[in-house]
Amino acid sequence: MSTTPVYIVCSPRPLVGRTLIARLLSEFLLLQDGAVAAFDINLKEPSLLEYLPQITETAEVDNTFGKMALMDRVIVNDGVAKVIDLGFHAFDEFFTMSNEIGFMKEAARRGVTPVILFVADNDRVSLRGYATLREQIPPNRLFIVDNEYVLRGELPAVFARGKVVQIAALPAFLKTYIDRLTFSFTGYLRNEKDQSTELYQWIRRNYFSFRELGLHLMLQRS
Amino acid sequence: MAKPVVIVVGADKGGVGKTTVSRTLLDYFSANNVPTRAFDTESPRGTLRRFHPDITEIVDMTTASDQMKIFDTLSSASPSVTVIDVRAGLMSPALASLRDIGFLDAAKSGQITFAVFHILGPSIASLDEIAETANFMQGAKYFLVKNFINNTSFFEWDQATYNSYFHRIKDATELTIPKLNEMAYEQVEVASVPFLKFVANKRFNDDAANYSFVLRGYVRHWLANVWSEFDRIKLTDLVGPGSAEARGEGGI
């Protein structure tokens, strides 16, 4: 039976590159599958909606209506991958709610594969957030994102035990370049003639990581 | 043959969640394969009957004919448990009637298992109700239910005052019903199905329904908490040891 992945990109900390990763992943899935549905649960940070308005809708988890509108959509096995950019302020509320309503179990029953991409940082809040997730999420559904731009040096040992998705650091000027609202990663790959540029290679490496992640999930199912 | 079990759910105050607790009891016994029948004394409307029409009958407990309908059939009726949802204000008169017809004496002598779920409201009046009810409780299992379903800031009594009332009744057991998300509660009301059917996403006739996954999740989580309270007080043991074996088959 085919399943529908739901990627939840999250961190209990602001400014760890979560929206960047959600953008990258959404563009990759759009390129790979031709369709993706993204949900932006951010009030206080640069948001996914501004970058990818065609495929993104806002969502909220601070009231029951918002939770229903979001979760009743993502629990459907419709073959369209979902990406949730979960703002730091909604981290606790979202996972408390998903634990209470039995999201992981119901997803397994319905052929939906939730994948948690936890963007690591080395502060206490992140460590505590990760510990909470480890209690709720099966290890094969919980991945660490090591964003080298944020987390310089070695990944703290507590995170290194899980499967890690590496995001290499970009030079500051390229970071400014990709932060423009009109910038598209896939558009850049399509239009850039010189495949040796640092940005080109960076996007390709990240797309490769996401492809590997997808294969890893597929192998787990088979 | 197992002794008949009569569970009275009541309070003298309205709107404290008597029917909600009765519904969770009926769901609990159903999940544990304990045959149950119910009487709804909210005549003629019958809120409990709306959710469990196949096993619920509306009665007027103040009339002798309906008292006969309930108590004269205890031994002959096949369900081993009878749940009576007593209308607001009728709790003390109902218990007085039970005393007058000799039912309380039968419970005291062990012919019948009798339990009372007294649903407490937030006001001091509820404490007076405890004192009033205490007079009838010899031979009965008495459960004081703190029901948080409607309001989180419910119980603000002075603990010492509460204890002084609580300890008047020997062997009384406290029970807590946690809060259920308002919207989830409302949707079950609208659906008019037992909590179990709502969780299973089914209509009354077992056809597939389309209830919100989030709201079903909230109800499932809440019902599991309520039932863990029922497990804690060993509710199925009231019916006899045989029923205990069936426990665990009805998980949610």
Give the pLDDT of residue A201: 96
A68 vs B182, B215, B221: nearest CB: B215
What tens digit of pLDDT does each residue of B211-229 get?
999 999 999 999 999 999 9
Q: List CB contacts (< 8 A) between A106 and chain B.
A: 213, 217
Calculate the average pLDDT of chain A. Answer: 93
Cβ within 8 Å, pair B214-A72: yes
Question: What pLDDT band is residue B137 in, cutting at 50, 70 and 90?
Answer: confident
Cβ within 8 Å, pair A97-B214: yes
Sheet holding A36-41, edge to edge: A56-58, A36-41, A81-86, A4-10, A112-119, A142-147, A163-167
CB A48 within 8 A of CB A179: no
Classify domain A4-221 by CATH number: 3.40.50.300
DSSP B155-173: ----HHHHHHHHTTSTT-E
User: Does the CB of A105 have a partner CB in chain B at under 8 Å?
Assistant: no
Q: In which element (H, E) is residue A136 found?
A: helix A124-136
Percent of chain B with pLDDT over 90: 39
Cβ within 8 Å, pair B220-A65: no
What tens digit of pLDDT does each residue of A101-119 get?
999 999 999 999 999 999 9
> Domains, chain B, ranges and CATH?
5-181 (3.40.50.300)
ipTM associated with this complex = 0.78
A102 vs B182, B215, B220: nearest CB: B220
Q: How far apart are CA B122 and CA A89, in angstroms?
A: 34
Q: Which of A7-16, B42-51, B53-62 has the highest mean pLDDT?
A: A7-16
Residue type, B196: L
Q: How far apart are CA A107 and CA A6, in angstroms?
A: 9
What average pLDDT does range A126-151 have in this prediction?
93
Global confidence as pTM: 0.82
Give the pLDDT of residue B124: 60
What average pLDDT does range B126-139 have in this prediction?
71
Under 8 Å CB-to-CB from B153, ≥6 apart: which residues?
Answer: none
Task: Name the closest residue on chain A to residue B211, using Cα atoms.
Answer: A72
Give the pLDDT of residue B249: 46
Percent of chain A with pLDDT over 90: 84
Question: What pLDDT band is residue A124 in, cutting at 50, 70 and 90?
Answer: very high
The residue among A106, A66, A65 whose CA lies nearest residue A86 is: A66
Treating both helix axes as pointing N-terminal to C-terminal, what angle do B124-134 and B91-100 enclose, rounded to 10 degrees? 0
Q: List CB contacts (< 8 A) between A65 and chain B.
A: 183
Q: Which two tokens stand for residue B66?
A: 């309906």
Give the pLDDT of residue B14: 72
DSSP assignment letter at B202: B
What average pLDDT does range B183-210 have in this prediction?
94
What's the N-to-C CA distance of chain B in angstroms? 30
Q: How far apart are CA B58 and CA B41, in angstroms?
A: 6
Calculate the average pLDDT of chain B. Answer: 83
Residue of higher predicted confidence among B95 and A48: A48
CB A33 within 8 A of CB B150: no
User: Does the CB of A95 have a partner CB in chain B at under 8 Å?
Assistant: no
DSSP B71-138: HTTTTTSS-SEEEEEPPTT-HHHHHHHHHHTTHHHHHHTTSSEEEEEEEE-SSHHHHHHHHHHHTT-T
Lowest mean pLDDT among A73-87, B109-123, B200-214: B109-123
Q: How far apart are CA B154 and CA B12, in angstroms?
A: 17
Q: In which element (H, E) is residue A128 found?
A: helix A124-136
What tens digit of pLDDT does each residue of B101-112 get?
888 888 888 888
Residue of higher predicted confidence among A52 and B162: A52
Give the pLDDT of residue B243: 47
Give the pLDDT of residue B165: 66
What tens digit of pLDDT does each residue of B234-251 get?
888 887 765 444 444 455
Q: How far apart are CA A47 and CA A67, in angstroms?
A: 19
Q: List CB contacts (< 8 A) between B183 and chain A.
A: 64-65, 68
The pairing of beta strand B81-85 with beta strand B36-40: parallel
A75 vs B183, B213, B220: nearest CB: B213
What tens digit of pLDDT does each residue of B38-54 get?
999 887 778 899 999 99
